[in-house]
Each structure stands twice: as C-alpha cells, then as structure tokens.
Amino acid sequence: MLTTESAESPGFSAHSVWGEAAAAGPLAVLGDDAALSGLHFLRVEGMRTLLTPAMLAVGLALAAAAAERRFLCVLGDAGVGKTFAVHAATRRLGELGSLLSLEFRAQPAPADLRSALHRTLGLLGQAPADPGAADTLIRHALADRPRIVVVEDAHRLSASCMEYLRFLHDGAPGGLCVVLIAARRGERRLRAQRMLATRTAGWLHVQPLMRDQIPLALHALHPVWRGVEAGVLMALDARLAGGALRRWAVITHHTRQLLARARADVPDGRLLAAVADRIDGGRCA
C-alpha cells in the first residue's frame, strides 16, 4: 500500500517509466534484473526486482518531480523499499536526470553537503575550504545537465542544511530535483520546513506489502520460495518481516545458506524454523 500527496503529473504513465512490466499485473518482475541486481540488499544471488505498488508510485512521482525540477519527499519505515524504488526509478528516467546520492553522518552540517556534492559530482581535488568557492564549483556542475539529488535520512537534516538545499534549488537554471528520503517519524520535521510547501511536487508514504500480497510477491522474488506454501510464507512474514522486502532479502540469504549446508532444494518447516531462530534468536517478531 502507498498513500500520496502530489500535484497533477500529465505526460507520464507507469508504462513510460517501467515499460512492459507495468501492464503485466500486480508485482510483475522487471525485465532488466541484471541492471538493478546491485541495488538489492545483501545482493542475494537470484533475487528478482518486483514492480511493487511503491515502485509504481515512486516512478510516476519522481518522473514528474524531475521534469519540473522540484523536491519530492518519500517517507516510510525502514526496509519498505523507499531507497530501492527511488534508485531504480532514477535509472529508468534517462535524460530527466542523473543520480547524485548523498549519505551523511548522524547530524550533518552544510559543510558536509558541500563535501558530499563535490565528491559525488566528481569534481577534482578536495572541496575548497571557502564556502563561496565550493558553491561556485557545485552550482556550475549542477547546471551542466539535469540531476536528481537523493538525500538519505533527510529527517536528520538541520534547518541550515535544508536552507542550503533551497539555495541550490533556487540557484539552478529551472530548479533542481531533490528527493528527500526519510523515516515516517521524521515527517513532522520535514513539514516544518516552510520552503518545501512551494517547492515540493509530492509527498509519498510507502507502506509494507499487504499480508495477502506476500505469497505472490515471494514466489516471484526468488526461486527458493516457489515450492513453499502460501500459509507458511505468511506466517514467516508475520514473525520476521512485516511485509518489508529488505527483511525478506535477509531471510532469503540465510535460507540459501542453510539449504546449501543441507544439500536441499526446497526449505521445509524445520529449516525455516532454524532460519527464524538464526535471525531473531527464537523470539516472535
């Protein structure tokens, strides 16, 4: 499930972002798995890329925000696929913008943003110590071609960091697409930034997969789950994952390890119990 607040985005459709997979039904497998395999948590061999409701919505919202060169806020709990969806969609947008992904320490300052942008933009040498000189280089590079700046854990940004992003956005020709990925609990902090009210193309609230989506999703996600009954998968999800595909990547990783050790092809109840014990120490989630 996913809820959104966004402006109208004419000219974009699920097909224009995701291609033929968009018409293949719920939780379809994207055909360019090889290009996206490096995005999967733990890079589990054989993991497929599913066109989840979150992927569909993020793709459309990001296409609109990139075309308009505005902010986009993507909110949700850990593991629900926020970052994966943003990165996967960015790779599909082509000329609408190249990805600049920024990650910071717990409490970044504007100097950290300058340093990260200098590095991610591939600018030569160290970032100048003088803020004005650093900003001249960054703004010139940002104006070179369309960019999509993705900020992880945006709820940790201070007011001065948010003001610096506004400075870059307003100073770029036609604006700058900035995607703020944040924990659900951080929404109030982002909403308090008044500058976002007039510069944001949309607010997306990404939710975990619904319980009845789990069997279909898991059977498509990885071959190891195709022989496992729906009820078993839903019980395992209730205990360990709560509909979060990143947690299913962890479960799949450990399941493959124990299957290889047991020289088996399909996980049975005993093996899955061992997986659950390995992950949560025998405690029910």
pLDDT in tens, the chain (285 residues): 456 666 445 578 899 999 989 988 889 999 766 678 789 999 999 999 999 999 999 999 999 999 999 999 999 999 999 999 999 999 999 889 999 999 887 889 999 999 999 999 999 999 999 999 999 999 999 999 999 999 999 999 999 999 999 999 999 999 999 999 999 999 999 999 999 999 999 999 999 999 999 999 999 999 999 999 999 999 999 999 999 999 999 999 999 999 999 999 999 999 999 999 999 874 433
Q: Residue 1: what pLDDT?
A: 46
Residues 75 and 167 in one domain: yes
Q: Indicate whether 223 and 86 sit together in one domain.
A: no
Q: Are residues 136 and 15 in the same domain?
A: yes
234 token code pair: 């839903």
What is the C-alpha separation between 49 and 58, in angstroms, rounded?
A: 15
Spatial separation of the C-alpha atoms in residues 270 and 276, rounded to whole Å? 10
Verify that 238 and 192 share a domain, yes or no. no
Do both 111 and 188 map to the same domain? yes
pLDDT for position 31? 78
CA separation for the pair 55, 33 (Å, rounded): 14
The answer on 182 and 221 residing in a single domain is: no
Domain count for the chain, please give it: 2
Beta bridge partners of 151: 102, 180
184/238 same-domain check? no
- Please answer whether residues 196 and 71 qualify as being in contact, where contact means their C-beta atoms are separated by less than 8 angstroms: yes
Would 285 be classed as within a structural domain?
no
Full domain range(s) for residue 234: 211-280
Instruction: Give, as one character, the DSSP assignment of residue 176.
Output: -
